[in-house]
Chain A
Amino acid sequence: MEKMKTKRLDIKISTLVLLLIFTLIGSKALAQDQFVIIANADVPVESIDKSTIKRIYNGFTTQWKNSTKVKPCYMQIQNDAFWKYMGTTKTNFNKFWTKRVFSGNGVSPVEHGSSAALVKYVSEISGAIGILRIEDQKLAEGNCKILQKTN
Protein backbone atom coordinates (compact mmCIF):
# COMPACT_ATOMS: atom_id res chain seq x y z
CA MET A 1 0.00 0.00 0.00
CA GLU A 2 2.82 2.35 1.01
CA LYS A 3 4.65 1.42 -2.20
CA MET A 4 1.55 2.25 -4.28
CA LYS A 5 1.28 5.71 -2.67
CA THR A 6 4.95 6.43 -3.31
CA LYS A 7 4.57 5.30 -6.95
CA ARG A 8 1.54 7.61 -7.46
CA LEU A 9 3.47 10.52 -5.96
CA ASP A 10 6.40 9.78 -8.28
CA ILE A 11 4.06 9.79 -11.29
CA LYS A 12 2.52 13.13 -10.20
CA ILE A 13 5.94 14.72 -9.70
CA SER A 14 7.16 13.40 -13.06
CA THR A 15 4.05 14.77 -14.78
CA LEU A 16 4.54 18.16 -13.13
CA VAL A 17 8.21 18.25 -14.14
CA LEU A 18 7.30 17.31 -17.72
CA LEU A 19 4.59 20.00 -17.81
CA LEU A 20 7.07 22.56 -16.53
CA ILE A 21 9.62 21.56 -19.17
CA PHE A 22 7.02 21.74 -21.97
CA THR A 23 5.81 25.15 -20.70
CA LEU A 24 9.37 26.47 -20.63
CA ILE A 25 10.13 25.13 -24.10
CA GLY A 26 6.81 26.45 -25.40
CA SER A 27 7.29 29.93 -23.98
CA LYS A 28 10.84 30.05 -25.32
CA ALA A 29 9.62 29.02 -28.78
CA LEU A 30 6.88 31.67 -28.57
CA ALA A 31 9.44 34.29 -27.59
CA GLN A 32 11.66 33.25 -30.52
CA ASP A 33 8.74 33.75 -32.89
CA GLN A 34 8.21 37.32 -31.73
CA PHE A 35 10.18 40.39 -32.62
CA VAL A 36 9.94 44.15 -32.36
CA ILE A 37 10.42 46.85 -34.96
CA ILE A 38 12.56 49.65 -33.58
CA ALA A 39 13.56 52.98 -35.13
CA ASN A 40 15.83 55.93 -34.59
CA ALA A 41 14.27 58.69 -32.48
CA ASP A 42 14.11 61.09 -35.46
CA VAL A 43 11.98 58.74 -37.58
CA PRO A 44 8.69 60.61 -38.11
CA VAL A 45 6.32 57.71 -37.39
CA GLU A 46 5.06 56.21 -34.14
CA SER A 47 3.80 52.90 -35.58
CA ILE A 48 4.25 50.96 -38.78
CA ASP A 49 2.26 48.36 -40.70
CA LYS A 50 3.42 45.11 -42.31
CA SER A 51 3.18 46.27 -45.92
CA THR A 52 5.37 49.32 -45.20
CA ILE A 53 7.96 47.10 -43.50
CA LYS A 54 7.98 44.80 -46.52
CA ARG A 55 8.43 47.74 -48.89
CA ILE A 56 11.27 49.13 -46.77
CA TYR A 57 13.13 45.81 -46.59
CA ASN A 58 12.62 45.25 -50.33
CA GLY A 59 14.16 48.65 -51.08
CA PHE A 60 10.98 50.15 -52.51
CA THR A 61 10.46 52.71 -49.74
CA THR A 62 13.70 54.64 -49.35
CA GLN A 63 12.58 57.88 -47.70
CA TRP A 64 10.60 58.81 -44.62
CA LYS A 65 7.99 61.56 -44.88
CA ASN A 66 10.52 64.16 -43.68
CA SER A 67 12.84 63.12 -46.57
CA THR A 68 15.31 61.38 -44.24
CA LYS A 69 16.78 58.32 -45.92
CA VAL A 70 15.39 55.02 -44.62
CA LYS A 71 18.26 52.87 -43.30
CA PRO A 72 16.92 49.37 -42.71
CA CYS A 73 18.89 46.78 -40.78
CA TYR A 74 18.28 43.34 -39.33
CA MET A 75 19.95 40.65 -37.31
CA GLN A 76 21.17 37.24 -38.31
CA ILE A 77 17.99 35.83 -36.71
CA GLN A 78 18.25 32.20 -35.59
CA ASN A 79 14.64 31.29 -36.35
CA ASP A 80 12.48 31.78 -39.43
CA ALA A 81 9.94 34.13 -37.83
CA PHE A 82 11.11 37.27 -39.60
CA TRP A 83 11.32 35.57 -42.98
CA LYS A 84 7.85 34.05 -42.55
CA TYR A 85 6.57 37.53 -41.67
CA MET A 86 8.19 38.87 -44.85
CA GLY A 87 6.76 35.99 -46.90
CA THR A 88 10.21 34.80 -48.02
CA THR A 89 13.28 32.85 -46.89
CA LYS A 90 16.74 34.11 -45.98
CA THR A 91 18.13 32.54 -49.17
CA ASN A 92 15.50 34.12 -51.42
CA PHE A 93 15.90 37.48 -49.65
CA ASN A 94 19.66 37.33 -50.33
CA LYS A 95 19.06 36.40 -53.98
CA PHE A 96 16.62 39.30 -54.32
CA TRP A 97 19.15 41.78 -52.94
CA THR A 98 22.10 40.35 -54.89
CA LYS A 99 20.22 41.12 -58.10
CA ARG A 100 19.11 44.53 -56.87
CA VAL A 101 22.57 45.68 -55.72
CA PHE A 102 24.51 44.43 -58.76
CA SER A 103 22.01 45.92 -61.21
CA GLY A 104 22.51 49.35 -59.62
CA ASN A 105 19.11 49.50 -57.98
CA GLY A 106 20.11 50.26 -54.40
CA VAL A 107 22.00 49.01 -51.38
CA SER A 108 20.90 46.12 -49.20
CA PRO A 109 19.78 46.41 -45.55
CA VAL A 110 22.64 46.27 -43.06
CA GLU A 111 23.05 42.93 -41.26
CA HIS A 112 24.20 42.89 -37.63
CA GLY A 113 25.73 40.02 -35.70
CA SER A 114 24.23 40.90 -32.32
CA SER A 115 21.23 42.66 -30.79
CA ALA A 116 23.52 45.15 -29.05
CA ALA A 117 25.15 46.14 -32.36
CA LEU A 118 21.75 46.51 -34.02
CA VAL A 119 20.39 48.72 -31.21
CA LYS A 120 23.56 50.84 -31.29
CA TYR A 121 23.18 51.31 -35.06
CA VAL A 122 19.47 52.20 -34.88
CA SER A 123 19.96 54.60 -31.98
CA GLU A 124 22.87 56.42 -33.67
CA ILE A 125 21.94 56.50 -37.36
CA SER A 126 19.35 58.98 -38.55
CA GLY A 127 16.46 57.27 -40.35
CA ALA A 128 17.47 53.77 -39.16
CA ILE A 129 14.90 51.05 -38.61
CA GLY A 130 15.64 47.57 -37.28
CA ILE A 131 14.19 44.19 -36.41
CA LEU A 132 15.00 43.02 -32.90
CA ARG A 133 14.26 39.80 -30.98
CA ILE A 134 11.58 40.47 -28.39
CA GLU A 135 13.72 39.18 -25.54
CA ASP A 136 16.23 41.95 -26.34
CA GLN A 137 13.63 44.73 -26.35
CA LYS A 138 15.01 46.16 -23.10
CA LEU A 139 18.23 47.06 -24.91
CA ALA A 140 16.26 49.43 -27.14
CA GLU A 141 13.99 50.98 -24.52
CA GLY A 142 14.98 54.59 -23.91
CA ASN A 143 17.36 54.57 -26.91
CA CYS A 144 15.01 53.92 -29.80
CA LYS A 145 11.34 54.14 -30.77
CA ILE A 146 9.39 50.90 -30.51
CA LEU A 147 7.17 50.91 -33.62
CA GLN A 148 5.63 47.46 -33.53
CA LYS A 149 5.62 44.17 -31.68
CA THR A 150 4.67 41.17 -33.70
CA ASN A 151 4.51 37.40 -33.88
Chain B
Amino acid sequence: MKSKVTLIAALVFLMFSEAMSQQLKERVRINGYSSFEYENMFSDEGEGDPNGSFDADLIDLVINIDVTSKLRFSTDLTWEHGAASEDDRGNVAVEYAFPEYTVKDWLKFRVGKMFVPFGIYNEIHTAKPAFLAVKEPLSTNKPQKFGADARFYPRWATGVSILGNFAIKSVDFEYHVQLSNGEQENTNPFEEDDNEEKAVAARLLVMPSQGLKVGVSTYSDKITELDGSGDDTGNRTKLFSISTHAEYTYKNAGIELEFITGKTSPSAGGDLKKSAFEGMLYYTFIDRITPYFRYEFLDPNKDVDDDQANMISLGVNSRVDDNFFVKLQYNNISSKDQNAEFSGTDYSEFQAAVVLGF
Protein backbone atom coordinates (compact mmCIF):
# COMPACT_ATOMS: atom_id res chain seq x y z
CA MET B 1 0.00 0.00 0.00
CA LYS B 2 2.80 2.34 1.03
CA SER B 3 4.76 1.65 -2.14
CA LYS B 4 1.63 2.32 -4.25
CA VAL B 5 1.14 5.72 -2.60
CA THR B 6 4.80 6.54 -3.15
CA LEU B 7 4.52 5.51 -6.81
CA ILE B 8 1.38 7.62 -7.34
CA ALA B 9 3.01 10.58 -5.57
CA ALA B 10 6.11 10.23 -7.76
CA LEU B 11 3.97 10.10 -10.93
CA VAL B 12 1.95 13.16 -9.85
CA PHE B 13 5.20 14.99 -9.07
CA LEU B 14 6.69 14.06 -12.45
CA MET B 15 3.54 15.23 -14.30
CA PHE B 16 3.50 18.42 -12.28
CA SER B 17 7.20 19.13 -12.79
CA GLU B 18 6.88 18.53 -16.55
CA ALA B 19 4.01 21.00 -16.73
CA MET B 20 5.99 23.46 -14.61
CA SER B 21 9.05 23.01 -16.81
CA GLN B 22 7.01 23.63 -19.98
CA GLN B 23 5.44 26.73 -18.42
CA LEU B 24 8.86 28.01 -17.34
CA LYS B 25 10.30 27.33 -20.81
CA GLU B 26 7.50 29.37 -22.35
CA ARG B 27 7.91 32.29 -19.98
CA VAL B 28 11.68 32.52 -19.60
CA ARG B 29 14.10 32.79 -22.52
CA ILE B 30 17.86 32.95 -21.96
CA ASN B 31 20.11 34.07 -24.80
CA GLY B 32 23.58 35.55 -24.80
CA TYR B 33 26.89 35.99 -26.53
CA SER B 34 30.61 35.95 -25.98
CA SER B 35 33.54 37.52 -27.78
CA PHE B 36 37.27 36.81 -27.72
CA GLU B 37 39.51 39.29 -29.54
CA TYR B 38 43.09 39.79 -30.72
CA GLU B 39 44.62 43.08 -31.83
CA ASN B 40 48.10 43.99 -33.11
CA MET B 41 49.39 47.27 -34.52
CA PHE B 42 51.89 46.89 -37.36
CA SER B 43 54.07 49.87 -36.39
CA ASP B 44 55.51 51.19 -33.11
CA GLU B 45 53.80 54.56 -33.35
CA GLY B 46 50.06 54.94 -33.15
CA GLU B 47 47.21 54.37 -30.72
CA GLY B 48 46.80 50.68 -31.47
CA ASP B 49 48.11 47.69 -29.50
CA PRO B 50 51.86 47.17 -30.19
CA ASN B 51 52.06 43.95 -28.14
CA GLY B 52 49.50 41.80 -29.95
CA SER B 53 47.10 41.20 -27.06
CA PHE B 54 44.38 38.65 -26.49
CA ASP B 55 41.22 40.02 -24.92
CA ALA B 56 38.53 38.01 -23.14
CA ASP B 57 36.27 40.76 -24.42
CA LEU B 58 32.93 39.85 -22.93
CA ILE B 59 30.26 37.38 -22.02
CA ASP B 60 26.67 38.59 -21.84
CA LEU B 61 23.48 36.91 -20.67
CA VAL B 62 20.26 38.25 -22.17
CA ILE B 63 17.21 37.19 -20.19
CA ASN B 64 13.58 37.76 -21.15
CA ILE B 65 10.72 36.87 -18.85
CA ASP B 66 7.07 37.07 -19.89
CA VAL B 67 5.51 38.00 -16.58
CA THR B 68 2.04 38.25 -18.14
CA SER B 69 0.85 38.42 -21.76
CA LYS B 70 1.35 42.20 -21.63
CA LEU B 71 4.34 42.48 -19.32
CA ARG B 72 7.90 41.48 -20.28
CA PHE B 73 11.06 41.92 -18.23
CA SER B 74 14.29 42.14 -20.19
CA THR B 75 17.89 42.39 -19.03
CA ASP B 76 21.43 42.10 -20.41
CA LEU B 77 24.14 41.34 -17.84
CA THR B 78 27.76 41.61 -18.94
CA TRP B 79 31.15 40.46 -17.71
CA GLU B 80 33.86 42.25 -19.67
CA HIS B 81 37.61 41.66 -20.06
CA GLY B 82 37.76 38.64 -17.78
CA ALA B 83 36.04 40.40 -14.89
CA ALA B 84 37.68 39.57 -11.54
CA SER B 85 36.49 41.92 -8.81
CA GLU B 86 39.06 40.65 -6.25
CA ASP B 87 41.84 42.05 -8.42
CA ASP B 88 39.82 45.05 -9.61
CA ARG B 89 40.07 43.80 -13.19
CA GLY B 90 37.54 44.00 -15.98
CA ASN B 91 34.01 45.24 -15.69
CA VAL B 92 30.66 43.84 -14.59
CA ALA B 93 27.62 45.81 -15.66
CA VAL B 94 23.91 45.85 -16.23
CA GLU B 95 23.65 46.89 -19.89
CA TYR B 96 19.90 47.22 -19.55
CA ALA B 97 17.16 46.08 -17.20
CA PHE B 98 13.58 47.15 -17.70
CA PRO B 99 10.01 45.94 -17.53
CA GLU B 100 8.07 46.63 -20.73
CA TYR B 101 4.28 46.95 -20.62
CA THR B 102 2.43 46.55 -23.92
CA VAL B 103 -0.88 48.41 -24.11
CA LYS B 104 -1.01 47.82 -27.87
CA ASP B 105 1.81 47.06 -30.28
CA TRP B 106 1.85 50.76 -31.13
CA LEU B 107 2.04 51.78 -27.46
CA LYS B 108 4.53 50.25 -25.05
CA PHE B 109 6.18 51.64 -21.92
CA ARG B 110 9.58 50.87 -20.43
CA VAL B 111 11.14 52.07 -17.19
CA GLY B 112 14.66 51.37 -15.99
CA LYS B 113 18.19 51.41 -17.36
CA MET B 114 18.19 51.20 -21.14
CA PHE B 115 20.39 51.75 -24.14
CA VAL B 116 19.85 55.16 -25.69
CA PRO B 117 17.89 54.49 -28.91
CA PHE B 118 20.23 56.23 -31.33
CA GLY B 119 21.53 55.24 -34.75
CA ILE B 120 22.33 51.76 -36.05
CA TYR B 121 24.78 50.52 -33.44
CA ASN B 122 24.21 51.84 -29.94
CA GLU B 123 21.71 49.17 -28.89
CA ILE B 124 23.91 46.36 -30.24
CA HIS B 125 27.36 47.81 -29.62
CA THR B 126 28.38 44.94 -27.30
CA ALA B 127 26.47 42.26 -29.23
CA LYS B 128 29.28 41.17 -31.53
CA PRO B 129 27.28 38.38 -33.27
CA ALA B 130 24.82 41.08 -34.40
CA PHE B 131 27.26 42.84 -36.74
CA LEU B 132 29.98 41.91 -39.21
CA ALA B 133 33.03 43.90 -38.11
CA VAL B 134 35.20 43.21 -35.06
CA LYS B 135 34.08 46.42 -33.36
CA GLU B 136 31.34 48.98 -33.89
CA PRO B 137 32.40 52.08 -35.89
CA LEU B 138 34.49 54.44 -33.72
CA SER B 139 33.65 57.66 -35.57
CA THR B 140 29.93 57.47 -34.83
CA ASN B 141 29.95 55.41 -31.62
CA LYS B 142 33.20 56.20 -29.78
CA PRO B 143 34.25 59.55 -31.29
CA GLN B 144 36.22 60.43 -28.15
CA LYS B 145 38.64 57.65 -29.20
CA PHE B 146 38.85 59.25 -32.62
CA GLY B 147 39.77 62.77 -31.54
CA ALA B 148 36.45 64.28 -30.44
CA ASP B 149 35.90 66.04 -27.10
CA ALA B 150 32.96 63.83 -26.17
CA ARG B 151 30.40 61.40 -27.51
CA PHE B 152 27.40 62.45 -29.61
CA TYR B 153 25.11 60.75 -27.07
CA PRO B 154 25.62 58.56 -23.99
CA ARG B 155 25.49 54.77 -24.24
CA TRP B 156 22.88 54.25 -21.51
CA ALA B 157 20.14 56.16 -19.80
CA THR B 158 17.83 55.66 -16.85
CA GLY B 159 14.32 56.88 -17.30
CA VAL B 160 11.05 56.23 -19.08
CA SER B 161 10.46 55.19 -22.68
CA ILE B 162 7.42 55.20 -24.91
CA LEU B 163 7.78 53.07 -28.01
CA GLY B 164 5.87 51.00 -30.50
CA ASN B 165 5.32 50.10 -34.10
CA PHE B 166 2.59 50.49 -36.65
CA ALA B 167 2.03 50.00 -40.37
CA ILE B 168 0.66 52.32 -43.00
CA LYS B 169 -0.27 50.17 -45.99
CA SER B 170 2.78 47.93 -46.46
CA VAL B 171 5.27 50.26 -44.76
CA ASP B 172 6.30 49.49 -41.17
CA PHE B 173 7.21 52.24 -38.72
CA GLU B 174 8.93 51.90 -35.35
CA TYR B 175 9.33 54.77 -32.91
CA HIS B 176 11.06 55.19 -29.55
CA VAL B 177 11.03 58.28 -27.31
CA GLN B 178 13.09 58.20 -24.13
CA LEU B 179 13.13 60.65 -21.24
CA SER B 180 16.08 60.23 -18.88
CA ASN B 181 18.46 61.77 -16.35
CA GLY B 182 20.99 62.18 -19.14
CA GLU B 183 24.75 62.28 -18.75
CA GLN B 184 26.65 63.81 -15.84
CA GLU B 185 30.02 63.69 -14.16
CA ASN B 186 29.67 63.97 -10.40
CA THR B 187 26.82 61.58 -9.56
CA ASN B 188 25.57 58.25 -10.84
CA PRO B 189 23.12 59.14 -13.65
CA PHE B 190 21.44 55.74 -13.25
CA GLU B 191 20.52 56.63 -9.67
CA GLU B 192 20.13 60.39 -9.38
CA ASP B 193 19.92 63.40 -11.68
CA ASP B 194 22.29 66.27 -10.89
CA ASN B 195 20.00 68.87 -12.45
CA GLU B 196 16.32 69.40 -13.22
CA GLU B 197 16.67 69.21 -16.98
CA LYS B 198 15.94 65.86 -18.57
CA ALA B 199 17.57 64.35 -21.64
CA VAL B 200 15.37 63.34 -24.58
CA ALA B 201 16.30 60.71 -27.15
CA ALA B 202 14.03 59.89 -30.07
CA ARG B 203 14.29 57.59 -33.04
CA LEU B 204 11.97 56.84 -35.95
CA LEU B 205 12.60 53.84 -38.19
CA VAL B 206 10.81 53.36 -41.50
CA MET B 207 10.83 49.94 -43.19
CA PRO B 208 9.29 50.13 -46.67
CA SER B 209 10.35 46.55 -47.45
CA GLN B 210 11.85 43.56 -45.61
CA GLY B 211 15.43 44.51 -46.48
CA LEU B 212 15.31 48.30 -46.20
CA LYS B 213 15.42 50.29 -42.98
CA VAL B 214 15.79 54.08 -42.88
CA GLY B 215 15.97 56.06 -39.66
CA VAL B 216 16.39 59.40 -37.95
CA SER B 217 17.65 59.71 -34.35
CA THR B 218 18.07 62.74 -32.11
CA TYR B 219 19.49 63.32 -28.65
CA SER B 220 19.34 66.48 -26.55
CA ASP B 221 20.50 67.21 -23.03
CA LYS B 222 21.61 70.02 -20.75
CA ILE B 223 24.74 69.04 -18.87
CA THR B 224 25.68 70.55 -15.52
CA GLU B 225 28.77 72.77 -15.62
CA LEU B 226 30.99 72.24 -12.59
CA ASP B 227 33.41 74.63 -10.93
CA GLY B 228 36.98 73.77 -9.90
CA SER B 229 35.85 71.98 -6.76
CA GLY B 230 33.24 69.92 -8.59
CA ASP B 231 30.17 71.92 -7.50
CA ASP B 232 27.26 72.90 -9.74
CA THR B 233 27.78 76.41 -11.13
CA GLY B 234 24.12 76.65 -12.10
CA ASN B 235 25.14 76.91 -15.75
CA ARG B 236 24.37 74.28 -18.37
CA THR B 237 26.04 73.09 -21.57
CA LYS B 238 23.50 72.22 -24.25
CA LEU B 239 24.10 69.09 -26.29
CA PHE B 240 22.18 68.26 -29.44
CA SER B 241 22.92 65.48 -31.95
CA ILE B 242 21.02 64.23 -34.95
CA SER B 243 21.67 61.17 -37.10
CA THR B 244 20.28 59.81 -40.34
CA HIS B 245 20.92 56.16 -41.05
CA ALA B 246 19.98 53.50 -43.54
CA GLU B 247 20.49 49.75 -43.92
CA TYR B 248 19.67 47.78 -47.04
CA THR B 249 20.07 44.08 -47.76
CA TYR B 250 19.23 42.49 -51.08
CA LYS B 251 19.77 38.75 -51.25
CA ASN B 252 23.49 38.33 -50.40
CA ALA B 253 24.54 41.96 -50.64
CA GLY B 254 24.15 44.77 -48.15
CA ILE B 255 24.98 48.37 -47.42
CA GLU B 256 24.72 50.57 -44.33
CA LEU B 257 25.25 54.31 -43.98
CA GLU B 258 25.13 56.62 -40.98
CA PHE B 259 25.77 60.34 -40.71
CA ILE B 260 25.75 62.22 -37.39
CA THR B 261 26.15 65.87 -36.66
CA GLY B 262 26.30 67.31 -33.17
CA LYS B 263 26.56 70.65 -31.42
CA THR B 264 27.82 71.39 -27.90
CA SER B 265 26.90 74.87 -26.59
CA PRO B 266 28.57 75.89 -23.29
CA SER B 267 26.90 78.72 -21.34
CA ALA B 268 29.98 80.92 -21.88
CA GLY B 269 29.56 80.65 -25.66
CA GLY B 270 31.87 79.07 -28.21
CA ASP B 271 29.73 76.37 -29.81
CA LEU B 272 31.54 73.23 -30.93
CA LYS B 273 30.15 71.47 -33.98
CA LYS B 274 31.28 68.02 -35.01
CA SER B 275 30.19 65.44 -37.54
CA ALA B 276 30.85 61.78 -38.32
CA PHE B 277 30.12 59.31 -41.08
CA GLU B 278 30.39 55.58 -41.50
CA GLY B 279 29.52 53.44 -44.50
CA MET B 280 29.83 49.72 -45.06
CA LEU B 281 29.46 47.41 -48.07
CA TYR B 282 29.35 43.61 -47.88
CA TYR B 283 28.52 40.49 -49.84
CA THR B 284 27.94 36.97 -48.51
CA PHE B 285 29.31 33.97 -50.41
CA ILE B 286 27.99 30.40 -49.95
CA ASP B 287 25.87 31.68 -47.06
CA ARG B 288 28.93 31.78 -44.78
CA ILE B 289 31.79 33.99 -45.91
CA THR B 290 31.15 37.74 -45.86
CA PRO B 291 33.91 40.12 -46.97
CA TYR B 292 33.23 43.73 -46.00
CA PHE B 293 34.61 47.19 -46.55
CA ARG B 294 33.99 50.04 -44.10
CA TYR B 295 34.90 53.69 -44.24
CA GLU B 296 34.70 56.01 -41.23
CA PHE B 297 35.26 59.73 -41.00
CA LEU B 298 35.19 62.19 -38.10
CA ASP B 299 35.48 65.95 -38.04
CA PRO B 300 35.85 66.67 -34.29
CA ASN B 301 35.54 70.45 -34.64
CA LYS B 302 34.24 72.11 -37.78
CA ASP B 303 36.03 75.35 -36.91
CA VAL B 304 39.43 73.65 -36.91
CA ASP B 305 40.86 72.73 -40.31
CA ASP B 306 43.42 70.04 -39.62
CA ASP B 307 41.80 67.78 -37.05
CA GLN B 308 39.90 65.19 -39.13
CA ALA B 309 40.50 61.45 -38.86
CA ASN B 310 39.39 58.53 -40.95
CA MET B 311 39.62 54.77 -40.89
CA ILE B 312 39.40 52.24 -43.71
CA SER B 313 38.61 48.66 -42.70
CA LEU B 314 38.75 45.54 -44.83
CA GLY B 315 37.57 42.33 -43.26
CA VAL B 316 36.08 38.89 -43.58
CA ASN B 317 33.35 37.50 -41.35
CA SER B 318 33.10 33.69 -41.51
CA ARG B 319 30.08 31.89 -40.09
CA VAL B 320 31.65 28.64 -38.92
CA ASP B 321 28.43 27.31 -37.41
CA ASP B 322 25.03 28.73 -36.48
CA ASN B 323 25.76 31.97 -34.59
CA PHE B 324 29.47 31.14 -34.33
CA PHE B 325 31.72 33.55 -36.23
CA VAL B 326 35.40 34.17 -36.89
CA LYS B 327 36.24 37.74 -37.91
CA LEU B 328 39.51 38.96 -39.44
CA GLN B 329 39.99 42.67 -40.08
CA TYR B 330 42.65 45.08 -41.31
CA ASN B 331 42.35 48.77 -40.31
CA ASN B 332 44.20 51.76 -41.66
CA ILE B 333 43.86 54.91 -39.55
CA SER B 334 44.94 58.28 -40.84
CA SER B 335 44.54 61.73 -39.34
CA LYS B 336 45.58 65.35 -39.63
CA ASP B 337 48.04 67.08 -37.31
CA GLN B 338 45.50 68.79 -35.04
CA ASN B 339 43.60 65.60 -34.24
CA ALA B 340 43.59 65.25 -30.43
CA GLU B 341 43.85 61.44 -30.44
CA PHE B 342 46.21 60.60 -33.29
CA SER B 343 48.08 63.91 -33.93
CA GLY B 344 48.59 63.09 -37.60
CA THR B 345 50.24 59.72 -36.94
CA ASP B 346 48.97 57.20 -39.47
CA TYR B 347 49.07 53.51 -38.61
CA SER B 348 47.64 50.12 -39.51
CA GLU B 349 46.47 47.27 -37.33
CA PHE B 350 45.14 43.74 -37.48
CA GLN B 351 42.13 42.66 -35.46
CA ALA B 352 40.52 39.25 -35.05
CA ALA B 353 37.57 37.96 -33.06
CA VAL B 354 35.89 34.67 -32.26
CA VAL B 355 32.25 35.37 -31.50
CA LEU B 356 29.42 33.15 -30.31
CA GLY B 357 25.72 33.90 -29.99
CA PHE B 358 23.20 31.59 -28.36
Looking at the assembled complex, report how far the CB atom of A54 sits from the nearest CB atom of chain B, in whole angstroms.
7
Query: Number of contact residues on A: which range applies?
Result: 20 to 34
Judged by a CB distance under 8 angstroms, whether B306 is at the interface is: no
- 8 A Cβ contacts from B226-265 to A: 249, 251-252
**Residues on A with beta carbons closer than 8 Å to the beta carbon of B322:** 94
Interface centre among A55, A58, A63, A107 (most CB of B within 10 A): A107
Among A89, A91, A99, A107, contact of B124 (Cβ-Cβ < 8 Å): A99
**Residues on A with beta carbons closer than 8 Å to the beta carbon of B127:** 98-99, 102-103
Q: Which residue from chain A places its CB closest to the CB of B104 in the assembled complex? A: A63
Judged by a CB distance under 8 angstroms, whether A143 is at the interface is: no
Q: Assuming the A-B contacts A62-B105, A92-B211, are A104 and B167 also in contact, with contact meaning beta carbons closer than 8 angstroms in the complex?
A: no
A98 touches B357 (CB 8 A): yes
Q: Which residue from chain A places its CB closest to the CB of B64 in the assembled complex? A: A107
**Residues on A with beta carbons closer than 8 Å to the beta carbon of B130:** 95, 98-99, 102-103
Q: Assuming the A-B contacts A60-B165, A60-B167, are A101 and B31 also in contact, with contact meaning beta carbons closer than 8 angstroms in the complex?
A: yes
Judged by a CB distance under 8 angstroms, whether B149 is at the interface is: no
Looking at the assembled complex, report how far the CB atom of A107 sits from the nearest CB atom of chain B, in whole angstroms.
5
Q: Assuming the A-B contacts A61-B105, A98-B130, are A87 and B211 also in contact, with contact meaning beta carbons closer than 8 angstroms in the complex?
A: yes
Q: Which residue from chain B places its CB closest to the CB of A68 in the assembled complex? A: B69
A89 touches B251 (CB 8 A): yes
Contact flags (1/0) for B12-27 with A, using CB distance below 8 Å? 0000000000100010
- Chain B residues with CB under 8 Å of chain A are 22, 26, 29, 31, 33, 60, 62, 64, 66, 69-70, 72, 74, 76, 96, 98, 102, 104-105, 114-115, 123-124, 127, 129-131, 165, 167, 170, 172, 174, 209-211, 249, 251-252, 284, 287, 322-323, 357
Beyond the given pairs A67-B69, A102-B129, 11 more chain A to chain B contacts, judged by CB atoms under 8 angstroms and listed by A's residue number, are A51-B167, A63-B70, A63-B102, A63-B105, A71-B26, A92-B210, A92-B211, A95-B130, A104-B62, A104-B98, A107-B31
